[in-house]
Amino acid sequence: MLVPTTPPTPDSADMATSLDVDAVLAQLTLDEKISLLSGIDFWHTAAIPRLGVPTIRLSDGPNGVRGTRFFDSVPSSCLPCGTALGATFDTDLLRDVGHLLADEARAKGAHAVLGPTINIQRLPLGGRGFESFSEDPTLAGLLAASYCQGLADKGIASVPKHFVCNDMEHERMAVDVQVTARAMHEIYLKPFQIALAEAPVPAVMTAYNKVNGVHASESPYLLQKVLRGDWGFDGMVVSDWFGTYSTAAAANTGLDLEMPGPARFRGINLLHAVNANAVSKKAVDDRVRNVLKFVSKAMGAGIREHAPETLLNRPEDQQLLRRAAADAIVLLKNEQSVLPFSPVKSTVVIGPTARIATYCGGGSASLNPYEAVTPWQGIEALVQAQGPLEFAQGVYGHQMLPLLGKSLKTVKDGKTGFELRVYNEHPTGPAPQGETDVRTLVESRHVVDSNMFFIDYSHPNLAKNGVWYADVEGTFVPEISGTYDLGLAVQGTAWLYVDGQLLVANAGPNQKPGTSFLGSGTVEETGSMYMEAGRQYNILVQWGCSKTSQLKVANMIDFGHGGMRIGGCRRLEVEEGIAQAVAAAKAADQVVVCVGLGSEWETEGEDRVTMALPPNTDKLVAAILAAAPNKTAVVVQSGTPVDLPWVEQCPALLQAWYGGNATGHAIADVIFGAVNPAGKLPLSYPRRLQDLPSHINYRAEAGRCLYGEDVYVGYRYLDRAGVEPLFAFGHGLSYTSFELGQLSIDATSNNVSVTLDVANTGSVSGSCTVQLYVAPPAWEPRAVPALPQRPTQELRAFAKVHNLAAGAKATVTLTLDAVRDTSYWDETDDAWCSRAGVYGIRVGQSSRDAKAVEGTLTVEKTTYWKGLKP
């Protein structure tokens, strides 16, 4: 055991790099043991200084490391969202991403990253669908393994989540997911199984929901039988934040760490349970041992306790982020080679997302990026006056009014943003002109982001009863005269004044629940007034914390202090905006239309109701396509598929996802041919929502959600039912063309090598992703024993050939495990089963590739197995 002579501090010169876990465990008191089983705050574990056990910092998240603050956080690298990374089909890139995340974690003083998110997208409506990689468990699992390996390479711990079946947001804390054992293993557990088998994973985060009647964080089946038993996992199991629901059941079943702190179910409650023999001391020791092993591993990173949070933002990181975002973009259509555009021709950029940086989805995955490049900014930087460039708004696409913070200036010194003033006393309205506020100021700070979530805000002078208030004040100068809408969404209460006159109130008994603040806040209340261009207006918002509100949202987490969101913009009449956009499109040589969703539409805490784009978006696109039919490219930014009713008239279509910091640069790179697109769809793009069976049961009903589609998720169902998707799983075009050669299949024992040539038959270099699908033996309804039906094909391997020159050829080898990759979950024998028979091998450039090359693989004997691997 390493026991420092003095307690470790952030300034200690010598830091222990590991613990003798059993020796430390033997010296801990019961109180100390129990203290280690819950966090001390939102992000940190407990320390035992006398035994050299340091506090460990965890941080979100799946697409970037936030650090320790939601409110006014230190900027960080924001990666492309999960589906975007999934679209790369590139395990090497994901390992590079893991390396960057590890460096960002170190810069933020974090020992562990809460990610990746590897739940399954059963339907395109999931509020957090953008966080996950794919509808396919093999793709999700292999990418997750590379992500985790990248973190491990640099000493940072990964915490894959959410184990398991947290695949929608509706009533996520309470819903009982009812799923067969077969679907559980083949679809929902499999990404975790692959990640744990292929990479060092020291911890797993449990899901909020119930699975087959029991909350995941206290499920004997999930935690004891599968994770600890069948898989032999000896790492730490941590709850999702506020995802612990019991004291004894969770401790006895195997939940090691309750987060966040201070404890709600542990602490004195767990001590009482131990004293009452409801939880054995052995169970406590088992939990503590797992926490200590995690702490010991985290110590190896050499990150000091309570390390300050710093900026990274290196040039090489910026290059990686731009490459990852561009590699993720999927070229869905390109009729008559409309793309790439020329930078010297006249171009107009149109649409609701053109000048908005839709770089990330909403919720705990969101963070404060070093930069957030809009498509307009990216195109403007690339073109650099080579050709005329114009902009037309067309229509708006926001759900709530655009954030106002960057349009404000501070009253005192004219800085971009506003002044935030914190008080313990209730406001009585704006102070009369010339008079000062009589309240006692707790703190004043300069803030730019007007979406303020005070989850982790603290100040030593805040009132002990937890009731406090804040004022936001800044000036606004309109560029154009017109009617302006201003809005407030809050968790708490708030009033918005313009030049001392009340314009918006969001308070009182009639507050309405909405999607803001992870589903715990209100709808946006709005007000409007005419504003003159060039005139300065004083904007004052007076806000009270969540305890001042009577609104309590059922089945949602109370995140404590609450938050406020201040938005506003000039009102735009739809017909006028579309007419202006159509005129601009007719006059230009090339038209880029930017549409999509964003962090309001796709966010933690709320699922989408439909696949539709925001109101009036389809009307705008249809009008542009009618006016400029052969020179328009439409760019869709969303984390999951959307309805595209105008798709048949659209010659060029790009799915650009949420691309992180470099979103706009990546879009420009692909549109103008600096990057040849190579992304592939990691989930099926249905023609309509009803084409996927899960649309029938994608919400909690009577407290439960039946996974009635069983193993037939995404392309598995579309293939089995013979339903034609709009764009197939794995689909993605290029500015060049590729041809696949014949297969050579070499099976030695269980190791199978599938080799083929890939030829670039086009005129420019490009990257090609080959996908290997395995088809089961022909199903015989009267077979003995009776065998289950299986999907017609399942992805089992993939490989990416990078930058293959025009006219060049490359040889690709994909590997299979003959037992693992032909197996299904046999519910009768409670094990994986590789059934003897002849399996089809199909390699193509999508799941529906008509030019796929085929072969067969013969499995000589039936094998049953359990564990992470056969």
Q: How far apart are CA 28 and CA 6, in angstroms?
A: 17
pLDDT > 70? residue 469: yes
- Strand 493-498 to 501-506 pairing: antiparallel
Q: Please report which confidence band the pLDDT of residue 437 belongs to, taking 50, 70 and 90 as the band edges.
A: confident
pLDDT > 70? residue 406: yes
Report the pLDDT value the prediction gives residue 8, as an integer from 0 to 100: 34
- Angle separating helix axes 375-383 and 663-671, nearest 10 degrees: 50
Phi, psi angles (nearest 5°) of residue 731: -75, 145
Question: Exposed (0-12), middle (13-18) or buried (19+): which is 575, by Cβ within 10 Å?
Answer: exposed
Q: How far apart are CA 271 and CA 283, in angstroms?
A: 12
Residue 298: count other Cβ atoms within 10 Å of its Cβ: 26
Catalytic residue from among 240, 327, 643, 669: 240
Cis amide bond preceding 220, omega within 30? no
CATH hierarchy code of domain 738-865: 2.60.40.10
Average pLDDT, the chain: 95
Q: Please report which confidence band the pLDDT of residue 9 belongs to, taking 50, 70 and 90 as the band edges.
A: very low
pLDDT > 80? residue 294: yes
Residue pLDDT, tens place only, 150-205:
999 999 999 999 999 999 999 999 999 999 999 999 999 999 999 999 999 999 99
Q: Please report which confidence band the pLDDT of residue 518 belongs to, taking 50, 70 and 90 as the band edges.
A: confident
Question: What is the torsion angle, in degrees rounded to the nearest 10, for the CA atoms of residue 231, residue 236, residue 241 and residue 242?
Answer: 90
CATH of 405-570, one of 2.60.40.10, 3.30.450.190, 2.60.120.260, 1.10.510.10: 2.60.120.260
Average pLDDT estimate for 22-30: 98
Q: How far apart are CA 492 and CA 179, in angstroms?
A: 38
Report the pLDDT value the prediction gives residue 433, as an integer from 0 to 100: 65
Q: How far apart are CA 70 and CA 368, in angstroms?
A: 9
**CB 839 within 8 Å of CB 776:** yes
Question: Exposed (0-12), middle (13-18) or buried (19+): which is 747, by Cβ within 10 Å?
Answer: middle
Helix (H) or strand (E) holding 841: strand 837-844
Q: Please report which confidence band the pLDDT of residue 783 belongs to, taking 50, 70 and 90 as the band edges.
A: confident
- Angle separating helix axes 137-153 and 91-107, nearest 10 degrees: 40
3-state DSSP assignment of residue 795: strand
pLDDT > 80? residue 648: yes
Cis amide bond preceding 340, omega within 30? yes
Q: Which tokens belong to 89?
A: 């089909």
Residue pLDDT, tens place only, 797-813:
999 999 999 999 999 99
pLDDT > 60? residue 245: yes
Average pLDDT estimate for 110-124: 97
3-state DSSP assignment of residue 837: strand
Q: How far apart are CA 376 and CA 594, in angstroms?
A: 9
Tell me the pTM.
Answer: 0.94
pLDDT > 80? residue 615: yes
3-state DSSP assignment of residue 745: strand
Alpha helices in 588-697 (DSSP H): 617-627, 663-671
**CB 430 within 8 Å of CB 500:** yes
For residues 660-677, one letter each, b for 16 or more C-beta atoms within 10 angstroms of the residue's C-beta and e for the rest, the string is: bbbbbbbbbbbbbeebbb
Phi, psi angles (nearest 5°) of residue 455: -45, -50
Residue pLDDT, tens place only, 261-277:
999 999 999 999 999 99
Report the pLDDT value the prediction gives residue 779, as an integer from 0 to 100: 85
Report the pLDDT value the prediction gives residue 16, as an integer from 0 to 100: 84
Nearest one of 29, 68, 54 to 294, comparing CA atoms: 54
3-state DSSP assignment of residue 79: coil
Q: How far apart are CA 676 and CA 329, in angstroms?
A: 10
Q: Which tokens belong to 190?
A: 């499999």
Cis amide bond preceding 260, omega within 30? yes
Nearest one of 415, 489, 482, 488 to 448, comparing CA atoms: 415
Q: Please report which confidence band the pLDDT of residue 560 belongs to, taking 50, 70 and 90 as the band edges.
A: confident
Report the pLDDT value the prediction gives residue 556, as an integer from 0 to 100: 66
Q: How far apart are CA 586 and CA 392, in angstroms?
A: 12
Q: Which tokens belong to 655?
A: 């799915």
Average pLDDT estimate for 109-134: 97
Residue pLDDT, tens place only, 710-768:
999 999 999 999 999 999 999 999 999 999 999 999 998 899 999 999 999 999 999 99
Report the pLDDT value the prediction gives residue 784, as an integer from 0 to 100: 79
pLDDT > 70? residue 12: no
Question: Of 420-429, 751-760, 831-840, 844-853, where does mean pLDDT reach its minimum?
Answer: 420-429
Residue pLDDT, tens place only, 322-364:
999 999 999 999 999 999 999 999 999 999 999 999 999 998 8
Q: How far apart are CA 114 and CA 157, in angstroms?
A: 9
**CB 746 within 8 Å of CB 752:** yes
**CB 795 within 8 Å of CB 719:** no
Report the pLDDT value the prediction gives residue 430, as an integer from 0 to 100: 77
Report the pLDDT value the prediction gives residue 780, as an integer from 0 to 100: 84
Parse the chain into domains and list their residue ranges: 322-398+573-681, 405-570, 738-865
Report the pLDDT value the prediction gives residue 605, as an integer from 0 to 100: 87
Number of H helices, E strands in the chain: 16, 37
At a CB cut-off of 8 Å and minimum separation 6, what does 778 contact?
A: none
Domain 322-398+573-681 is in which class?
alpha beta
pLDDT > 50? residue 13: no
Topology alike, domains 322-398+573-681 and 738-865: no
Active site residue 240: yes
Question: What is the torsion angle, in degrees rounded to the nearest 10, for the CA atoms of residue 577, residue 581, residue 583 and residue 584?
Answer: 140
Share of the chain above pLDDT 90, in %: 90
Please calculate the CA angle 97-102-105 and round it to the nearest 5 degrees: 125
Residue pLDDT, tens place only, 688-712:
999 999 999 999 999 999 999 999 9
- Strand 176-178 to 203-205 pairing: unpaired
Q: How far apart are CA 765 and CA 674, in angstroms?
A: 11
